[in-house]
């Protein structure tokens, strides 16, 4: 993880450059319980969202869109997980690039009301991500404040091969971190760090496989961890200091994992 980047909504105020992380979404089994959890933790408010897959809400912070939450159909036994979306000027062309480079397009591309066009994909190792093509530059981005996405990090078997997939699909440059015991690549777009790829070999969780993790900014990681426990969530990795701030990995009531990030002071 290299820096804190966030986006208020897929179409975020001004158009996101293709390849920029621009949105996160979560599919859950109980909207009411999820709203209660994240509303108390991050101060989010909720409004009805587009329904290409069923009932959904968009989350707001001080009136600005932050993320999307949808309801899983009762017959779909899918993992509950946060999914990052990457901006595209042409979702159909990007989806075709995903296929041609060994990835899979599981949903779409399809229109989401008048807001834009999306596809849900997985990379060659199985990590799920989304593509978002905005129809209009509506809304205002909100970044760098508590309760907003800060970063997305991919955990996979080995960084180099998978990073090449994302580079060819989205036009990233890479910045490897050379170390005998640390396999990490930072993906850059026009010189800006936008996401990380971390290879952990056989330490990839068997129950999850390769996966993306979303970091959310908080004012105080230790207080946020205590709040997660109080709200019925789980602490998976205790709060610790890192070169980028104080972090902790937690899960909500349904098991969706995410990382809390308090930036350096």
The pLDDT tens digits of the residues spanning 55-93 come to 889 999 998 889 999 998 887 777 899 999 999 999 999
Strands 128-134, 82-87: parallel, antiparallel or unpaired by DSSP?
A: parallel
Between the CA of residue 47 and those of 70, 72, 83, what are the distances in Å? 12, 18, 19
Query: What value does the mean pLDDT of the chain take?
Result: 89
Alpha-carbon torsion 8, 11, 13, 16, what sign? Answer: positive
Percent of the chain with pLDDT over 90: 72
pLDDT digits (tens, 9 = 90+) for 244-257: 899 999 999 999 99
Number of other residues whose CB lies within 10 A of the CB of residue 106: 10
Please name the residue ranges forming H helices in 114-220.
159-170
Q: Supply the pLDDT for residue 139.
A: 35
Task: Give the Cα separation of 246 and 225 in Å (integer).
Answer: 11
Mean pLDDT of 43-64: 86
On whether the CB atoms of residues 33 and 253 are closer than 8 A, the answer is: yes
For the chain, give the number of residues.
265
Mean pLDDT lowest among 2-11, 19-28, 239-248? 2-11
pLDDT at 54 over 80: no
Q: Supply the pLDDT for residue 138.
A: 43
Q: What is the dihedral of CA 73, 77, 82, 83, to 10 degrees?
A: -80
Q: Supply the pLDDT for residue 144.
A: 83
Q: Supply the pLDDT for residue 14.
A: 53
Q: Supply the pLDDT for residue 136.
A: 64
For residue 49, name the pLDDT band (cuts at 50, 70, 90).
Answer: confident
Q: Supply the pLDDT for residue 7.
A: 35
pLDDT at 38 over 60: yes
pTM for this entry: 0.91
Percent of the chain with pLDDT over 70: 89
Q: Supply the pLDDT for residue 11.
A: 41
Q: Which of 86, 121, 82 is nearest to 212 (CA)?
A: 82
pLDDT at 8 over 90: no
Q: Which one has a higher pLDDT value, 207 or 103? A: 103
């Amino acid at each position: 993880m290299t820096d804190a980047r966030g986006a208020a909504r897929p179409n975020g105020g001004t158009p996101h450059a293709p390849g920029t992380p621009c949105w996160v979404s979560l599919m859950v089994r109980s909207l009411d319980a999820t709203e209660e959890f994240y509303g108390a933790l991050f101060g989010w408010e909720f409004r009805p969202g587009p329904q290409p897959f069923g009932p959904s809400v968009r989350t707001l912070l001080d009136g600005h869109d932050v993320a999307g939450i949808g309801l899983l159909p009762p017959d779909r036994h899918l993992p509950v997980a946060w999914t990052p979306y990457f901006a595209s000027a042409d979702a159909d062309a990007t989806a075709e690039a995903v296929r041609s480079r060994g990835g899979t397009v599981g949903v779409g591309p399809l229109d989401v009301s008048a807001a834009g066009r999306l596809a849900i994909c997985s990379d060659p190792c199985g990590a799920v991500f989304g593509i978002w093509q905005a129809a209009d530059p509506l809304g205002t981005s909100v970044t760098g404040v508590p309760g907003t996405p800060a970063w997305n990090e991919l955990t996979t078997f080995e960084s180099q091969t998978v990073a090449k997939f994302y580079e060819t699909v989205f036009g990233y440059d890479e910045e490897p971190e050379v170390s005998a015991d640390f396999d990490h690549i930072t993906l850059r777009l026009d010189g800006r760090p936008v996401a990380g790829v971390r290879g952990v070999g056989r330490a990839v969780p068997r129950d999850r496989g390769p996966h993306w993790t979303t970091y959310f900014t908080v004012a105080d990681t230790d207080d946020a961890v205590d709040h997660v426990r109080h709200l019925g969530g789980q602490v998976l990795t205790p709060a610790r200091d890192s070169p980028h701030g104080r972090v902790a990995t937690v899960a909500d009531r349904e098991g969706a994992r995410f990382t809390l990030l308090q930036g350096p002071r």
